Structure 1
Amino acid sequence: MDVGGHSTENTQTVAPPTSGGMAVPWSALRAPEPGNWFVPRGRLDELLDAAAVRHEVIEVVAPGGFGKTTALAHWAAHRSAPTAWVSVNSHTRNPQRLASGISRSLADAVRGRPGFEQLAGSVGDVGTAAGAVTRWIEALERAPERVVLIVDDVHHAPGILDHGPLALLLDAAPRNLCVVVTSHTPDPSLVRRRVAGMIGLVTSDELRMTRDEVLSVSRALDRELDADVIESIHTGTGGWPVAVGLELLAPGVVLPMAGEPMRDYIQHEILAKLPADLVTLVLSTSLLERFDTEAARQVSGLPETQALLGELLDRGLFLTRVSDRTGRVSYRWHARVARECRELFRASRPSDFVQGARAAVQVLWHDDPVAALDVACCADQVDLVRALLGDHWLSLLVEGDLAVLRDSIAALDPDQRGETVVLVLEAALAQLGGDHELAAMLVDSARAAAVPGVARDRLALAQMSLMGANEGNELERACDEVRDLLRTDVVPGRPEHAVTVFLLGWAELRLRRAPLRALDLLRTSARLASEAHASVLERRARANAGFAAAFLGDFEAAEEELRTLGGRKVAGADIWEVYDGGLTDFTEGWIGFWRGDLTIAEQKFGAVIADHGRVAYAPLARVLQVWVACSIGDPRRIRRADQARRDIPDADAHGVPWAHYALVARAKILVAQGAGASQVVPLLRQAADRANVPVIALESAVMLHRMGQLGDTVDALRRLSPLERQPLYVQTGALVVNALVQRRRGETESAHRLLERALDLGAPARLGRAFDLTQPGLRPLLAAHAARGTAHPEYVAHCLAGNTSVDASSPVGGLSSREREILEYMRGTLTNAEIAAALHVSVNTVKTHQRSIYRKFNVATRREAVRLADAT
């Protein structure tokens, strides 16, 4: 069935999942359909084809009504090469969300095309804007042909080409990408490229219709006009496409000339000539940025909106229709028309305007709070602004919609800004902006304004404490309170649920008191965010879950979480970077450190420091960089690390005991520089009171053992009791140190039992840090353990071979690196076939190296070779 020349929508299609206001609407990632008077304009297609080959950027610049969007939509639909589409709207002003939308559009454009698998896989959690761009560029480098990305209406988001993902993408200029942008006026961000002739420029001169095109439009509308009439229309309209269309659809319409009020034209030349129900539909839907027939019905109160929208399209008004393969249909008004219609609605029907605005806010409340706040502010419905902020402030804050939040606060009267939730929101904005004194003052005001017994006030204050508390005890109290409120006052499925679960897990991770609980909370929040299509929140949760898993020692689970993030996190336009900047790099460095891969650890910690200076995870990276440098033992690295150590904070922040970390870092430097126990032990005793940071106790035990302080070593190990509750790498390291203590005390059997337990834990996870052969006594203990027999002969041999340091003048020094590696494997009970399998070589290769070892050592058996190696 056709309604007004347009196919009926598929009303049986299940509505898509709601976005919670945290995703770019699907309709913004689809090119609109042409109107019923559209005709193909081959010359424009050819012009755009040629520009896309020659230029990395095409700018289409013309005032409204010149058919920029229509021309590009037709061109995109008929290209054989992949073409992605993004329409700028309220969501795409958020750099994180814009990056997510571009990823989705690019992936959809290339899906199913051979050679584009990497780009198709870029959809999902994109991380920061810069991180997303990095992955797009990597994928485009491997693309088999050029991709076009059309970004429509950039004038709706000033600065969108100046910062964020589009700016980064334009600066990178990948060779397999052409970016097309449309705007009303030339964008100042492109002036350098424009002057240098680097941009393909399409202006109103090219978009104006020719006489032949005017004739084609008249025939498409079944109007047979003679040449003189066509000439008159072309001359009278100047080829302005919208004027041509309206002249042919509604002869006699007087279009506004340049400088004349658009509002008068809409009122007298369009609305005045429409039936009353169409006028109501136009005015009421102008409150919505995008809408479907059900939303139109709710805001207008009209029952048959589908047929009425079809009639509006037939009349050639400033309305576009977008659909997708699933049958979903969405509409949107030209932005200027919508803006003028809103004001006409307000002026001509004030009570209906307020009623329509309130209905629009209710339509948008759960699915699109960004747009809901825009409507509430536009209509001066401050009660709705306050209520929306009460429901959504934390979600919008974590998602990075700061401009939306600031505009909403500005819409409130001074008295209304004194409410608890609004004060908490302003405190959170100040906190994220680095103004901690103002944040503290606003929190005090919020507490004073809180109404006893009002759960929302209590929840907002507790949520703010999770973000702002520095003292561990204060943060613990806040976590306990929020946990209670989640059980009693936060309804699952409501906007604040997923983000509150995230914030609680995020804070618990900093406390380190219950890392498994933190991991569970973060995974739950990631799942809830995914279900709500809150992509930025989901990524934050997954990144923190990755570190929580790594902190627990479940490195495989941590790496799986990192894989879902699609690449390392890079500094970008993301407000949460002040808290979590460098988190994924740090997690990778953490895993590398405990596995004994000091190269990857040094690289990752260095990247965190370079990208984030003294904030977020950079201070902790400085601590670990000290540990790495001291483990490598290079004096230059140690000197650089000592300089970096001075930038470690000396006071707790967000529950992190920086002073204790700084003490351990200082002790590490002193031990590496050869200082005695009298200098080091007092520092480690000072750091000993933070039982919820087990790595401090473990590293203290390692250093104390190196200096021969067995009593203090045992005391440090006791602080890790019960050991089975500690992270896997801490358990393994503590067992190894304890084994070395027992060996020094002559308790050989106990030492080997402890070492085997350490291998049981550490070998499957490849925890090479625990088996660092620079620890006094560990090499001979491991070698003896291999000879006694172990359930992990390959791993013991791997540890011995990977940590070999020998005197070049000794017999072992005359062996090649592969021969030394095989010699270490020969210590245990492995057969030649098993050694070959472990090293991924043939049995003949192993035998050849063995014969070479025997010859160089002048021995005849495996046992003799091992005995001679140990003697030297």
Structure 2
Amino acid sequence: MSADAGTPDRVAPAVLQPLVAAKTSRPRTIRAGVARRRLHELLDAAAGRPVTLVCAGAGWGKTTGVSGWAQERDRPVAWLSVDRHDNDPQVFWAYLLAALRVAGAVPAGNPLADLTSVPADPRERGRLFAAGLARLSADTVLVVDDIQEIDDADVLHELADLLRHPPPPLRLLLVGRTEPPLRLHRLRAAGQLAEIRAEHLAFGHDEAAEIVGRHGLALSAEEMSALVARTEGWATGLQLAATFLAGHGGTRTITDFAGDVRGVDDYLTEEVLADRTRRQRRFLLQTSICENVCAGLADAITQRTDGQRILEELEHDNDFVVRLGAKPLWFRYHQLLRDVLGHRLRVETPGVLPDLHRRAARWHAANNSVLEALAHAVSARDWAFVGRLVTAQAAPLMVSAHRPALVKILRRVPAERLTSTPELLICAALLLFHAGDYDAIPARLFAARELLHGRPDAVREPVEIMARTLQLAADRAAGDMPALLAGANRLLDLVAQARTVPVPAVAQNRAIALGARGVALLWSGRTGEAERELWAGANAARAAGVELPEVNATGHLALLKVMSGAVHEAAALAGGAVDLAEQRGWRYALQTVPAYFALALVRLERHDLDGARQALQDGLRGHHSDPEVSQRLVSLGVQARLAIARGNVGAARRALDEARQDRHPRLRVRALERWLARTEAAVEFAAGADPGDAEPLLAARAAYLKGDVRQAQRLLGEVTVAERDTVGRVEAGILAALLADARGQSVRAADLLADAVTRAAEEGIRRPFLIPADPRLDGLLQRMRLLAPLVADFVGELRPARAEQPAESLSERETEVLRYLATMLTAAEIAADLGVSVNTVKAHMRAVYRKLGASRRTEAVTLAQNSGLL
């Protein structure tokens, strides 16, 4: 450039003139073709503030991103690339002015326009540049790239003075790997600083796909997600990954791409690790064994006390060390950097790895980070410590959201080690529990106790508590409720007296014991006590942070409520348990099964047959993965009741037959047996047979259907319904109304039915109104709809539901009787023709009328013809 043309050469010393063009030219984007609209929009918005800082580590695409943005701007952008040789005030300001002139930002008449040399005196230089910069062309953007290279105190001081009162026409854009010491906090507090960091520069899926596509690769959406996650959107990492994946004929996978790949290792070693001090490098290597690190953990691993200072230094200097949260407490290393560090650690000092992991394990155990402690202990191959930690702290996690992680860790223990200590035998029993092999658990527990003889309390207490807890699982799986109750009581005594077990583990085991005691009391028929214990178990589990026992206790509470006729309460409890389970990803866990079965029974009472079937299937899926005898019997009872609702008596009987045959030798579930007996009575009633004595209310209904109003009234008077048994009260109210109407007491019948309908409407109960099909009930409901507008909508829902009730299948003999009904033969003549008694024929006729929903012979024939039965 000629010195008389007003070019930058006129202000730069002669020795610097050859570099001016290179230092003041905007770099050409080497990643052309990648649309970075999101980044450009951020830079557009940032340009409205006096100062913008673009700060990220090596290879994040700072320079290329800003350069691409500058290329698209309507107005010129001055560009200055600095290096360590610019740490001289005269040199720095000379290049800065040269950059402004190259961009055409210094108009004629500006004090800087005819400047031929930068003043040596700092005060004169400051006055001159302050005046000149204030008169630049409007909206002038000056990019100073690699600002981290400037460390001269004088240059930094003069820049800081400039930024104290930024000239209005100038928009300064600083690009660097680290934040420069320019008192930017003042600008930040005043809202005059825009910041673009690594998270803003990171490439998104679409941008990363463009890089990959230019290498001829076509990755699926899942593969792109994995690649972006592994590189964390790091621009250079994506370039290296694309090159790596395209090599070897495209046979490599994303899982093969890691920090120990040569290109990544070389780049991060040279660009990130090379500038670290010896102490920082050693710190990075040793702490790379952790996914996340804090000062205390770092100090424990390195056996020093400067962890906080070094972590903050690294985070300040390098975006490959990321602060987790607003406060400088926890940090993590970029995945690929951690890979590089791990590789270097294994190559340079492999012998220290077990000790490093052992120190990390002890620190995490002391700070209640149990899973992290176990992971490090396994990496250290410290099997004895693994066993002690599991038994004392980690075992209750088997019934929490952390179960998969705990199982994964336990499976890393060599099989031959699982019999070497009492604690490791507990680990073996936990794996059996996870596999559902409950019958094999007691042998492991016996072996563990054998090894405890003569051991101190600190060893014996945790093992004994976990042995009791695991024994509960075996007793519960077998359905042995007396043993379960006794075991839960013993476990509660143990945890109450424990002196050497950590408080969290005591709370967790206590919650498990309370829930088990509630289940044992429920199926033993002690309902009141069961309700109290299940509530206590659910609350204790929530407080202890073991949510699967909470889900299970709440599900059993829901079963207790729905089996006791409290539908609304059951629905709320079951729905809450299912929601919590699904939020945690436990939709098909064994502990969720009771809630699904309770939900199925609720939906049956509300005549939501499809919903009941879905809840039943969800429960069965969870049960099949981890069977429990009592829940198996509940499922068969639910299947029978659903079959009744669909008019399939045969399927209901088959389910109950299976329940009778499916018996564990230790099964002791008295209350569940009674519930199944009531279910069987309902099946027999639906089949038109004698329901027996298991369900007095059904016997009263059966007498009413036979036309024996007096017997029905007597039996109904003997029925006792609990106050909270809404279903029972509704059923009794319906029958009482029908009997009153049969005796000509229409007003009383209406009052009784109104009370039943009101109770039912409050909880959405519909099933009792749908069986049996009875024209008298239809008439009463019609009158109710007209006389009780408050329940008219609910009654209106019942009428079509009653009309849509599936016809029960007729038995072979009932089908024969039906064919005779279409003739003119009398009951006596039909009996003679069939060779049976008249009473038998009349019983079959009543069953046919009921199943078809008819009240007389001609109506039955018409309905049979319409349905294709005749």
> TM-score by structure 2 length?
0.52
Q: For 1:539 and 1:69, how far apart are their aligned partners in 2?
A: 50
Aligned to 1:498, the other structure's residue is in SS state: helix
One of 651, 657, 662 as aligned partner of 1:650: 662
TM-aligned CA deviation for residue 509 of structure 1: 1.5
Q: What per-residue deviation string (whole Å, max 9, x for no partner) do you get for residues 461-504 of structure 1?
A: 21112111122332222122112123222768423522541354
Q: For 2:207 and 2:742, how far apart are their aligned partners in 1?
A: 68
Answer yes or no: is the 8 Å Cα contact 2:730–2:760 preserved in 1.
no
Alignment match, 2:131? none
TM-aligned CA deviation for residue 370 of structure 1: 1.5
Answer yes or no: is the 8 Å Cα contact 1:468–1:654 preserved in 2.
no
**Quick one: which amino acid aligns to residue 714 of structure 2?**
R
Alignment match, 1:481? 490
Change (3 A) 1:239 1:480: closer
Q: Quick check: 1:463 aligned with 2:442?
A: no
TM-aligned CA deviation for residue 386 of structure 1: 1.8
Alignment match, 1:417? 419
Change (3 A) 1:371 1:256: closer
**Quick one: which amino acid aligns to residue 600 of structure 2?**
G
Q: Quick check: 1:194 aligned with 2:220?
A: yes
Answer yes or no: is the 8 Å Cα contact 1:475–1:511 preserved in 2.
no
Q: For 2:63 and 2:537, how far apart are their aligned partners in 1?
A: 41
One of 769, 776, 780 as aligned partner of 1:803: 769
Q: Quick check: 1:435 aligned with 2:461?
A: no
Q: For 1:297 and 1:197, how far apart are their aligned partners in 2?
A: 38
Alignment match, 2:518? 508
Alignment match, 2:634? 620
Change (3 A) 1:193 1:457: same
TM-aligned CA deviation for residue 600 of structure 1: 5.5
TM-aligned CA deviation for residue 368 of structure 1: 2.5
Answer yes or no: is the 8 Å Cα contact 2:511–2:544 preserved in 1.
no
RMSD: 6.0
Change (3 A) 1:384 1:519: farther
TM-aligned CA deviation for residue 375 of structure 1: 0.8
Q: For 2:781 and 2:64, how far apart are their aligned partners in 1?
A: 67
TM-aligned CA deviation for residue 354 of structure 1: 2.0
Alignment match, 1:589? 600
Q: For 1:296 and 1:268, how far apart are their aligned partners in 2?
A: 24
Q: What per-residue deviation string (whole Å, max 9, x for no partner) do you get for residues 681-702 of structure 1?
A: 6xx8xxxxxxxxxxxxxx4444
TM-aligned CA deviation for residue 364 of structure 1: 4.8
Change (3 A) 1:194 1:515: same
One of 605, 620, 626 as aligned partner of 2:616: 605
Answer yes or no: is the 8 Å Cα contact 2:283–2:302 preserved in 1.
yes
Q: What per-residue deviation string (whole Å, max 9, x for no partner) do you get for residues 645-690 of structure 1?
A: 44436214775467776666555544533445xxx76xx8xxxxxx
Alignment match, 1:837? 790
Q: What per-residue deviation string (whole Å, max 9, x for no partner) do you get for residues 566-598 of structure 1?
A: 749679975x94633543322222334567777
Q: For 1:350 and 1:423, how far apart are their aligned partners in 2?
A: 30
Aligned to 1:331, the other structure's residue is in SS state: strand
Answer yes or no: is the 8 Å Cα contact 1:664–1:700 preserved in 2.
yes
Q: For 1:353 and 1:662, how far apart are their aligned partners in 2?
A: 58
Answer yes or no: is the 8 Å Cα contact 1:459–1:482 preserved in 2.
yes
Change (3 A) 1:431 1:257: closer
Alignment match, 2:714? 744
Answer yes or no: is the 8 Å Cα contact 1:424–1:461 preserved in 2.
yes
Q: Quick check: 1:561 aligned with 2:567?
A: no
Alignment match, 1:387? 388
Larger RCO: Structure 1 or Structure 2 (Cα < 8 Å, ≥ 6 residues apart)? 1
Change (3 A) 1:527 1:182: farther
Q: For 2:547 and 2:61, how far apart are their aligned partners in 1?
A: 31
Q: What per-residue deviation string (whole Å, max 9, x for no partner) do you get for residues 173-215 of structure 1?
A: xxxxx999999x99xxxx99839999999899998969xx99x
**Quick one: which amino acid aligns to residue 748 of structure 2?**
A
Q: For 2:597 and 2:392, how far apart are their aligned partners in 1?
A: 33
Answer yes or no: is the 8 Å Cα contact 1:427–1:443 preserved in 2.
yes
Q: What per-residue deviation string (whole Å, max 9, x for no partner) do you get for residues 211-234 of structure 1?
A: xx99xxxxxxxxxxxxxxxxxxx9
Q: What per-residue deviation string (whole Å, max 9, x for no partner) do you get for residues 627-652 of structure 1?
A: 3444x4x64x2123233444436214
Q: What per-residue deviation string (whole Å, max 9, x for no partner) do you get for residues 697-735 of structure 1?
A: xx44445556779xxxxxxxxxxxxxxxxxxxxxxxxxx
Alignment match, 2:505? 495
Aligned to 1:651, the other structure's residue is in SS state: coil
Q: For 1:661 and 1:48, how far apart are their aligned partners in 2?
A: 64
Answer yes or no: is the 8 Å Cα contact 2:397–2:546 preserved in 1.
no
Q: For 1:622 and 1:410, how far apart are their aligned partners in 2?
A: 39
Aligned to 2:393, the other structure's residue is in SS state: helix
Answer yes or no: is the 8 Å Cα contact 1:526–1:538 preserved in 2.
yes
Alignment match, 2:75? none
Answer yes or no: is the 8 Å Cα contact 1:479–1:504 preserved in 2.
yes
Aligned to 2:330, the other structure's residue is in SS state: strand
TM-aligned CA deviation for residue 451 of structure 1: 3.6
TM-aligned CA deviation for residue 744 of structure 1: 2.1
Aligned to 1:288, the other structure's residue is in SS state: coil
Matches within 5 A, 1:114-125: none
Matches within 5 A, 1:544-583: 544-550=556-562, 555-565=567-577, 567=579, 574=586, 577=588, 579-583=590-594
Q: For 1:238 and 1:290, how far apart are their aligned partners in 2?
A: 24
Alignment match, 1:829? none
Alignment match, 1:375? 376
**Quick one: which amino acid aligns to residue 388 of structure 2?**
A
**Structure 2: where are the runs of 5+ without partners?**
1-28, 41-56, 66-198, 245-257, 795-854, 857-870
One of 285, 288, 291 as aligned partner of 1:286: 288
Q: Quick check: 1:823 aligned with 2:783?
A: yes
User: Which structure has the larger Rg over C-alpha atoms?
Assistant: 2
TM-aligned CA deviation for residue 333 of structure 1: 1.9
Alignment match, 1:334? 334
Q: For 1:204 and 1:498, how far apart are their aligned partners in 2?
A: 36
TM-aligned CA deviation for residue 525 of structure 1: 5.0
> TM-score by structure 1 length?
0.52
Alignment match, 1:787? 748
**Structure 1: where are the runs of 5+ without partners?**
1-38, 51-63, 73-149, 154-177, 215-233, 242-254, 685-698, 710-738, 827-831, 842-870
Q: For 1:568 and 1:289, how far apart are their aligned partners in 2?
A: 28
Aligned to 1:391, the other structure's residue is in SS state: helix
Alignment match, 2:6? none
Alignment match, 1:673? 687
Change (3 A) 1:209 1:270: closer
Aligned to 1:411, the other structure's residue is in SS state: coil
Aligned to 1:494, the other structure's residue is in SS state: helix
Change (3 A) 1:201 1:504: closer
TM-aligned CA deviation for residue 741 of structure 1: 7.6
Matches within 5 A, 1:199-210: none
Q: For 1:651 and 1:68, how far apart are their aligned partners in 2?
A: 68
Q: For 1:788 and 1:556, how far apart are their aligned partners in 2?
A: 26
**Quick one: which amino acid aligns to residue 417 of structure 1?**
T
**Quick one: which amino acid aligns to residue 501 of structure 1?**
A
Answer yes or no: is the 8 Å Cα contact 1:539–1:565 preserved in 2.
yes
Q: For 2:305 and 2:222, how far apart are their aligned partners in 1?
A: 55
TM-aligned CA deviation for residue 65 of structure 1: 9.2
Q: 195-204 or 462-471: which moved more?
A: 195-204
Q: 403-412 or 196-205: which moved more?
A: 196-205
Alignment match, 1:124? none
Answer yes or no: is the 8 Å Cα contact 1:595–1:766 preserved in 2.
no
